[in-house]
Amino acid sequence: MKDSKLNPIRVLIIDDSAFSRQTIKEILEKVPQVEIAGLAYDGQDGMAKILKLKPDIVTLDIEMPGMDGFTLLRWIMKEKPLPVIVVSAHFDDPTVFKALELGAVDFVKKPTNRASKELREIENDLVSKVLVVFSLRMEKLKKALSLLELKESKNNYLFEDNSFEIIAIGASTGGPTAIQTILTRLPEKFPCAIVISQHMPRGFTRQFADRISNISQLHVKEAEHGEPVESGKVLISPGGHHMVFEKLRKKIYTILKDSSGKDKYVPSIDKMMKSVADIYKSKTMGILLTGMGNDGKEGMLEIKKKGGFTIAESEKSAIVFGMPKEIIQAGGVDKVLVLQDIPGELLKKLGKKP
């Protein structure tokens, strides 16, 4: 990784709105580690300036006249792989997830697609993500994207081992691709409940859940308050909320709590995993995937303390190794696995018989 003090993070801003380009430029110019490499008004202009200016990172609006963001993304990943952050107001449709599947590493939600001072609300989110993705190694991202293309046989499995009743998965930057890779490789009638906290803002998680449900054999949905946790169902914590659980008589139900506004990580992986461990104890499996920071560390330690089984994604595949590294260094991991080996490990631990 380059030293950003000696070599600033050079960002190319691509957006068809002159107001958005200027606002994003003013936001990033205030960051000492960042240098604005240039501005581009559409995909064709962006392509030319990537070749000429050789930026470290691109911020990209998807919906533009002429060559749109999707076309440019395909070209970037094939010809000049570099980290792309989508900055878009289109957050309530499949646009963002299509961009992630094409290679974008993260996204920032514009509060409006109009020229408005509201755009400055993205400042903290945008700056933090630019600083995070600067450390990405693009070969890991390309490997993760290639896993999405692999078509695996749809075998039927018989499960005889009831050692685990629930799997709790946590992820942040790079997580949507990693989660999709795991869930699309699990068979129908999976014998455990799966609960997921992926750091996402409000408005994204329902589309994320629906998209995975449509391409996997599992029933995947955005969790609702008071919903029962059941074997074979995958519940994704809604953006902007924390997901915890309570036991009433013999059933377990979801409890959704609003973010306080002061929470560093939303949804909180730690809160979800601690709650799961308190209820399911040794019948819990925890998986911590790619992401920056230390969310999930305390939750994984709690799962381990209660006798559960823990897996962390390996540095060899994690797009951002921050979160897995934290729990590995804390000694709270039973196995460290590259992403493509995690689904097989789940089937092995559950006693599958093809």
Among 4, 137, 134, CA closest to 58: 134
How distant is the alpha carbon of residue 143 from its chain centre? 16
How distant is the alpha carbon of residue 59 from its chain centre? 18
How far apart CA 320 and CA 313 sit, in angstroms, is: 10
Catalytic annotation present for 199: yes
Give the C-alpha distances (Å, rounded to integers) separating 303 from 163, 308, 334.
14, 5, 11
Among 15, 11, 14, CA closest to 113: 15
How big is the chain, counted in residues?
Answer: 354
Q: Which of 20, 42, 199, 270 is catalytic?
A: 199
Helices (H), 103-158: 123-133, 138-149
Contact predicate 136/83, CB 8 Å: yes
Among 276, 320, 264, 265, CA closest to 300: 276
Q: Which of 172, 197, 237, 275 is catalytic?
A: 172
How far apart CA 198 and CA 350 sit, in angstroms, is: 24
Q: Residues 180, 174, 62, CA angle at the centre, nearest 5°?
A: 90
Q: Which of 88, 106, 295, 317 is catalytic?
A: 295
Residues with a catalytic annotation lie at: 172, 199, 295
